[in-house]
């Protein structure tokens, strides 16, 4: 890695910084990983898959991921309400990165 390049740039203007702004947060990667593994997931299922997350935090985090174009929310007009979440094409483009993180973790834990 060329350290001169890093020294002369504004880190907050890099692609790395942009990517981190989308995926950093206590539960964002867990949500993306869950959607990567299960495809389409309902809200309460997601809550069960991610231990320790509150309903409020899950809802807020899903809204952020949806606003960033990584997660798709599909609401069905029925009673009781049914909402499903899945990765958008943009979100799916993160799958190779998530896979590599999983592989690294398995090798180095």
- pLDDT of amino acid 68: 96
Please answer whether residues 91 and 66 qualify as being in contact, where contact means their C-beta atoms are separated by less than 8 angstroms: no
How much is the mean pLDDT over the chain? Answer: 89
Q: Which of 53-62, 68-77, 80-89, 95-104 has the lowest mean pLDDT?
A: 95-104
Side-chain-side CA neighbours of 89 within 13 Å: the count stands at 0
Query: In the chain, pLDDT over 90 holds for what percent of residues?
Result: 63
Backbone phi, psi, residue 42, to 5°: -85, 160
Distance between first and last Cα of the chain = 26
Q: CB pairs under 8 A, 24+ apart, for 40-46?
A: 40/84, 40/85, 40/86, 41/84, 41/85, 41/86, 42/82, 42/83, 42/84, 42/85, 43/83, 43/85, 46/85
13 pLDDT tier (thresholds 50, 70, 90) = confident
Indicate whether 11 pLDDT > 70: no
Please answer whether residues 49 and 29 qualify as being in contact, where contact means their C-beta atoms are separated by less than 8 angstroms: no
């Amino acid at each position: 890695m060329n350290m001169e390049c890093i020294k002369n740039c504004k880190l907050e203007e890099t692609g790395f910084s942009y990517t981190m702004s989308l995926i950093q947060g206590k539960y964002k990667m867990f949500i993306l990983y869950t959607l990567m593994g299960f495809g389409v997931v309902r809200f309460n299922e997601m809550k069960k898959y991610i231990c320790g997350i509150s309903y409020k935090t899950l809802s807020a985090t899903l809204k952020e991921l949806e606003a960033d174009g990584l997660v798709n929310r599909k609401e069905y007009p029925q009673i009781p309400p049914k909402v499903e979440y899945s990765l958008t094409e943009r979100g799916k483009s993160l799958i190779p990165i998530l896979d590599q993180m999983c592989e690294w973790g398995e090798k180095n834990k």
